[in-house]
Structure 1
């Protein structure tokens, strides 16, 4: 089984957009796919179909499986630790790591994605970030950035931080930011600074993740 951690250089950049497209492409190739988002905030129980877990579940071909995709769900659109606290809960990194390891061990799939919450350095618990979860799992990273002004600094900084913790970056995807500079122009600029890892383009509409699937399969 090939497993990857889907991380972002920031919040709301398109991690789920990229993950769903990759899962759908893999399914079209006849591969067995799975996805896990260990914790999600900003979840509306009255409209679960609008959530990231529901989008991932739909991409798996199991639209009703959103509760399995994200077992820890909180309503407030805040960092997971703060959203959990508002509901009288306390998130612990040891629990999140255990959830992910158990989930990975139980999968019978060709491709499995674990999606973080927020950016690489976004808090997950009161004393740990996404990066701490990434290091504990030691999965190759699929790093998602936006195309907005300033994304170069955010992406290159995230790369430095991730690599400093000895994590492999399998691919970089620049997801189109709405009302942002030209997507392809942004990617061309980034490629001048990052030559070790392929940088791919993910438009918001009509994107086929074939190139990404090929890069990860290599």
Structure 2
């Protein structure tokens, strides 16, 4: 039975969920822990060149080959258009009900014997993930704690704190908020942004994740995730 599992959710799209998930995976492996990861749905996926895609980067972090079999295990629902998955699915004449996604994830979680299981969502927390369902709905159905990733762009503080309040309102456990640095030169001061999030986050730990340099924050995130173990047999 997996000792700990976490749902890496974003306050917005392209805030660094995969960056944070990969850093968490590498920190766990460096600590000698066994790790599994899953990103069940991906849109904007190019089959001919997916090495630098989110699934490809997760496989690299796990130390696994970029093979078709590993890709199918990591991300079985893949869509070409860079849109919310239900919209991308419609363009391909497909439907995307939530139930099969929940069933697939729950089976993988229950069968895992890894020390850590990382499941990454799609887009922002409230982005449509399946027909009539959001990323939060998948998290809640699986009863997973969140590692909430916020950005460093102008307006990101509001997005991050709003997502945190939504998680609290739904009764979802939050291991930590990770503020991911924005690479744009006109972004607000990173340290000040993270500090402001921390002021308003209350008891929820807030970690700063610079894009370059130290990765000590990933070790801290790993410790916080380990403090929120889930009994997966109840999923």
Question: Which of the five TM-score ranges fits, normalised by the shorter chain?
Answer: over 0.9
Map residues 1-218 of structure 1 onto 2, 5 A cutoff: 1-64=3-66, 65-179=70-184, 180-208=187-215, 209-218=218-227
Q: Aligned partners of 2:213 and 2:54: how far apart in 1?
A: 19
Q: Cα deviations across residues 122-142 of structure 1 (Å, max 9, x unaligned)?
A: 001231111111111111100
Q: Aligned partners of 1:67 and 1:21: how far apart in 2?
A: 22
Alignment correspondent of 2:233: none
Count of residues in Structure 1 that have an aligned counterpart in Structure 2 = 218
Q: Cα deviations across residues 86-131 of structure 1 (Å, max 9, x unaligned)?
A: 2221000111111110111121200001111001110012311111
Deviation at 1:207, TM superposition (A): 4.1
**4+ long deviations beyond 6 Å:** none
TM-score of the superposed pair, with normalisation by structure 1: 0.96
Q: Aligned partners of 1:131 and 1:211: how far apart in 2?
A: 24
SS in 2 for 1:188: helix
SS in 1 for 2:178: strand
Q: Aligned partners of 2:204 and 2:24: how far apart in 1?
A: 18
Choose 22-31 or 188-197, whichever is displaced more.
Answer: 188-197
Structure 2 residue runs of 5 or longer lacking an equivalent are 228-235
Q: Cα deviations across residues 29-70 of structure 1 (Å, max 9, x unaligned)?
A: 110001001100001101010210010011011032233211
Q: Give yes or no for contact 2:6–2:225 (8 Å, CA) kept in 1.
A: no
Q: Give yes or no for contact 1:200–1:212 (8 Å, CA) kept in 2.
A: yes
Q: Aligned partners of 1:47 and 1:205: how far apart in 2?
A: 25
TM-score of the superposed pair, with normalisation by structure 2: 0.90
Q: Give yes or no for contact 1:21–1:207 (8 Å, CA) kept in 2.
A: no
Q: Aligned partners of 1:194 and 1:7: how far apart in 2?
A: 16
Q: Aligned partners of 2:72 and 2:100: how far apart in 1?
A: 17
